[in-house]
Structure 1
């Protein structure tokens, strides 16, 4: 993978060049049969399906180009600060920016139908431009997920970044790397009983886009 730089939102950021691990010249959503589950505790789990998306670099390039990325600012204590990533949200009725994302959403809804009991309907996209972009410790607990089990499915394209999980009450953390078309699904009580983050890193890393699929009434 070769990394170059350009300017986005007044900032020098990395540009992803094609991965030698992904030679497909079209976007392919592979079958989900190779999902591996890690039980975090008695009620929370994480599924990982490496390389679910073939042609992930093509999908990254299309999303980077076509999604109307925007920067947000947020109140933190006495200051208003930049959110350290670019974002875009697609509601249940919004057309997704690439047909492969609709295929992913529908495939996930079919695969997890018995456990989840409802389809994935929304998609939140985040662009991590370099190692200084991040997301702080949190759980997706806005809405029904505050007191109900749910699933959050994350498709990653671009350079790998670590997703770190830790129990809300304290304990050892779990670190998983996701990128290049990988799928990671957090399920069971994970959003209520565990927190997760994408930490900053001083390593030279390329950009990454994550697509978070959720059910209705969960953010």
Structure 2
């Protein structure tokens, strides 16, 4: 992957079997602020003041969000269905479905806001992304455990670009043998790009941070490569 990094105020991080690019303030604050509003605009709640975590699943499922089709996915764990501790949405080109952890996702149609963010990232790379997985962490209790993004649809050594808005959260990576570990703070407007063979040798997570009261949004832009593509 080639990048234009001269004026980004970012830096590259090289680790065994992979690399990352980190730009703390890639998206300007006014656009980052507007992005949070865009993600939460709805027909029934004040997006700035409502305690989203206090709404039960039924109440939140009835909220009609104007721009993002948020959903609460379930996985089967030890024979029981469990809701993920976060909300998600999958957007992309028409034929770019995605399956992970037993969850099959058909893409929502790109909207203007998401295309703008995608094009901002593409302006500094030679990668053309065709999909994005959005995760909404309502507060510090929402999280994601250790995992890799190594599904077959992503190809051999996927380039994944992660944009972050809202609350700052720790993004933690570790080698699969647990011999090395690194914590990276992802802030409001931060861009983190993962590449090389990272997904095959390193795991990552966003652990709970119970003192965090604000929402955090993470958008991971990807390239889906189906067999027929």
TM-score, normalised with respect to structure 2: 0.73
State the 1:121 CA deviation.
1.1
Counterpart for residue 82 of structure 1: 83
State the shift of 1:181 in Å.
0.7
Inter-partner Cα distance in structure 1 for 2:129 and 2:9: 20
Task: Confirm whether residue 106 of structure 1 aligns to residue 119 of structure 2.
Answer: yes
Q: For 2:173, which of 142, 157, 165 is the aligned residue?
A: 165
Q: Does 1:34 align with 2:5?
A: no
> Which of 20, 40, 51 in structure 2 is aligned with 1:64?
40
How has the CA–CA distance of structure 1 residues 72 and 151 changed in structure 2, closer, same or farther, with 3 Å as cutoff? same
Report the counterpart of residue 100 of structure 2 in structure 1: none
Residue equivalent to 1:194 = 202
Q: CA shift at 1:98, angstroms?
A: 4.0
User: Deviation per CA, 1:133-179, whole angstroms, max 9, x where unpaired?
Assistant: 11111111111546x11211010010111110001122121101112
Match of 2:144 among 112, 135, 152: 135
Q: 112, 119, 134: which one pairs with 1:125?
A: 134
Q: Which residue does the alignment assign to 2:57? A: none
Q: 2: CA distance between counterparts of 1:34 and 1:160? A: 18
Q: Is the 8 A contact 2:21 2:194 kept in 1?
A: yes
1:17-45 C-alpha deviation (Å, 9 max, x unpaired): xxxxxxxxxxxxxx96323111122x311
Distance 2:26 2:213 in 1: 21
SS at match of 1:111: coil
| Separation of aligned partners in 2, 1:162 and 1:77 | 28
Match among 193, 207, 214 for residue 222 of structure 2: 214
TM-superposed deviation, 1:132 = 1.1
Aligned equivalents of 1:143 and 1:130: distance in 2? Answer: 31
Contact 1:145-1:192 within 8 A present in 2 as well: no
Higher strand share: 1
Instruction: Quote the Cα distance in structure 1 between the aligned partners of 2:22 and 2:111.
Output: 24
1:155 maps onto 2:155 in alignment: no
Secondary structure, in 3 states, of the residue corresponding to 1:53?
coil
Structure 2 CA distance, aligned partners of 1:174 and 1:164? 6
SS class of match (1:213): strand
RMSD: 1.9
Q: Which whole-Å CA distance do the structure 1 matches of 2:192 and 2:213 have between them?
A: 20
Query: With structure 1 as the length reference, what TM-score do the two structures score?
Result: 0.76
